[in-house]
Structure 1
Amino acid sequence: MPIIDMPMPELLKYQGISPKPEDFDQYWARALAELEAVDPQVELVPSEFQAPQAECFDLYFTGVQGARIHAKYVRPKAAATPHPAVLQFHGYAWNSGDWNDKLAYASIGYSIAAMDCRGQGGRSEDAGQVKGTTLRGHIIRGLDDHPDKLLFRQIFLDTVQLARIVMSFPEVDEQRVGAMGGSQGGGLTIACSALEPRIKRLAPVYPFLSDYRRVWEMDLAKDAYEELRNFFRFHDPLHKREEEIFNKLGYIDIQHLADRIQGEVLMAVGLMDTICPPSTQFAAYNKIQAPKQLEVYPDFGHEYLPGFGDRTLQFMLGL
């Protein structure tokens, strides 16, 4: 089998090379305190799309910096209450997707909420004003400003706000909530579960937003990570700020959050992934201290992984 990264024995031990800022814990404590002070102003609006066995809503809430965030929310019409719920997070630049795939969870008596990331392909607002470039990338947005202005800080906090809102709904059992998603959605699944440790089960697929320096050193700052290359080319061509930049990216590096997770983890990785290199994913997975299992697809990259959607649903049945 061709190898685009480390051999498996090394992947299983790899701990990442991107730096963790010294004040990382204080940074996220301050961020969560800011979120606590936000009135979410939750609004549920019946959607134009409806289905016989479920109620479908456009869910709106307020996140940090006053942004209004949108999510699709589906709850079963005939289910025990309180019942489990699942949070769904989408890939980079996309949106919460169609309603129809949410109905599988409604059919087993679960509610499901799928969030639109602010400033990407859905209905959520990007309300933050920031110094420096905002061109071609959310990873680099805020690198020329205070670390609190990093856009993925706000997106991570949006996932927490969504989790807390769903957990507060009378029809939902707050102790039986899961999270799932692929690529950016996988990264957000890890971040959400780390910052809201009541998440009971999580199923990230080839998570994005991990071990940025490893991506850079592998010369894979392309596709989803191309903005890193563009940032250096246009804003630091001599790399005089390289240590500063990678240290600041450490605040929004999911590998540094992974050890906070308390829920049970089912993760999938494709060993031929050149979009989110396997080693960057293992950097996060290897730091998880909670019960975990890994599904490895040797011949697959950043693509559909056969059977894992079914595997995820079966896993979530354990909520």
Structure 2
Amino acid sequence: MALFDLPLDRLERYRSDSPEPPDFDPFWASSLAQARTHDVLVDVVPVATGLALVDTWDVTFAGFDGHPVRAWYTRPAGVTGDLPTVVEYLGYGRGRGLPQERLTWPVAGCAHLLMDTRGQGSQYGSGGDTPDPVGSDPATPGFVTRGILDPATYYYRRVLTDAVRAVDAARALPAAVATTPPSTAGTHRPDGPAPDASTRGAGPSGGTVPPVAVVGNSQGGGIALAVAGLASDLAAVMVSAPFLCDIPRALAITDADPYGEIVRYLAVHRGADEQVLRTLSYVDGVHHARRATAPALFATGLRDTICPPSGVFAAHNVYGGDAEIAVYPYNHHEGGEAHHTARQLTWLAARLPHP
């Protein structure tokens, strides 16, 4: 793919004109308050993975409307002290897969919570385990048009609420796993419901809950960016090629999926564009970025038609905290791949120090 978006010097100055809904903050405050009426941890089960250097738990936490959401929680083996935690969100169509698949952050010495994405996990990868119990009006194949005629019923309202609750769960988990040693792998906890994360509790060493960072690529990057604007006290944010940023412009310059799903929906539902764009404005990462304050590392490939670079820059350029962006001029949606992971490791180590 040749360069198709704005030149880099214009991207660095670019500002989105996507309108922000006037009730944006009350909408999200209400969504999160309702979700937080449920205890966050539902079940924490040690699992045998065959890996000697990490310990893993199968976690179920209460997401949107208390719906059960699955996750893998992995820590360096045998470490009983508090650890910084990285909460990771997944790309479009991927489920949490198997716990052996994503080991970068625990091998780097962090605790790692990998959130399953409701209703996804059958497009590629090793599968997912979290259904979406909410139906929707007619939608195109995929996820991005489900419930799209109303912000209250929109699919990503549920996903982003789940994602904030994953941070709540990460803050509660250190105390919970202290009661579920890996030697009991394959058995359920004998001590009833795990502690909630509505207040900061004690970790395995009895101290305060350690810092939390969020990370994601593509859909996962868009989710992590929204969480940065919705969750408090994050230590760091890493978003690569984030989806759902400056959505009106993306619809104008690319037909690539998932944005192409919205285009096909509107090609059938003629005249619904005003309703659809209003709904999408509640999840647009540009609006969430304005409210975020944690240090952030963005990344984009300048030839990326799936998550166009102008959307990434639109969010970066209004981000409410310190932010830098890694630019890969000759790359598409794959971006920097392992080279960028190396950069993330160095960048995060300076902002999430280990005990």
CA deviations 1:62-99 (Å, max 9, x no partner) are: 21234211111101233362111101111001122443
Aligned counterpart in structure 2 of residue 179 of structure 1, from 203, 214, 236: 214
After TM superposition, the structure 1 = structure 2 runs for residues 33-182 of structure 1, keeping only pairs within 5 Å, are 33-79=33-79, 81-121=81-121, 122-130=128-136, 132-144=137-149, 146-168=150-172, 169-170=174-175, 171=203, 174-182=209-217
Deviation at 1:138, TM superposition (A): 2.0
2 CA distance for matches of 1:41 and 1:88? 17
Aligned counterpart in structure 2 of residue 281 of structure 1, from 312, 316, 321: 312
Aligned counterpart in structure 2 of residue 235 of structure 1, from 253, 258, 269: 269
Deviation at 1:247, TM superposition (A): 1.7
Matched position secondary structure for 1:71? strand
1 CA distance for matches of 2:119 and 2:290? 28
2 CA distance for matches of 1:152 and 1:179? 18
2 CA distance for matches of 1:310 and 1:99? 21
2 CA distance for matches of 1:251 and 1:286? 19
TM-score (norm 2): 0.83
1:202–1:265 CA contact under 8 A, matched in 2 = yes
Matched position secondary structure for 1:94? coil
Deviation at 1:270, TM superposition (A): 0.5
Deviation at 1:175, TM superposition (A): 4.7
Deviation at 1:2, TM superposition (A): 4.8
* Count of aligned positions: 313
2 CA distance for matches of 1:153 and 1:261? 18
1 CA distance for matches of 2:256 and 2:328? 22
Matched position secondary structure for 2:318? coil
Aligned counterpart in structure 2 of residue 201 of structure 1, from 216, 231, 236: 236
What's the C-alpha RMSD, in Å, of the aligned pairs? 1.9
Asked if residue 268 in structure 1 is aligned to residue 299 in structure 2, the reply is: yes
1 CA distance for matches of 2:333 and 2:133? 31
2:296–2:323 CA contact under 8 A, matched in 1 = yes
Matched position secondary structure for 1:42? strand
2 CA distance for matches of 1:299 and 1:174? 41
- Correspondence for 1:295: 326
1:223–1:275 CA contact under 8 A, matched in 2 = yes
2 CA distance for matches of 1:304 and 1:241? 34
Deviation at 1:315, TM superposition (A): 2.0
CA separation of 1:98/1:315 partners in 2, compared to 1, >3 Å: closer, same or farther?
farther
1:141–1:151 CA contact under 8 A, matched in 2 = yes
Deviation at 1:106, TM superposition (A): 2.3
Structure 1 stretch 8-17 or stretch 154-163: which is displaced more?
A: 8-17
2:300–2:335 CA contact under 8 A, matched in 1 = no
CA deviations 1:255-291 (Å, max 9, x no partner) are: 1111111211111110011111111111111110211
- Matched-pair identity in %: 31
Matched position secondary structure for 1:285? helix
Deviation at 1:41, TM superposition (A): 4.0
CA deviations 1:5-42 (Å, max 9, x no partner) are: 01112111212133221211111111121122123342
- The letter for the 2-side match of 1:129 is G
2 CA distance for matches of 1:52 and 1:222? 42
2 CA distance for matches of 1:134 and 1:37? 30
CA deviations 1:29-58 (Å, max 9, x no partner) are: 111211221233421122242421221111
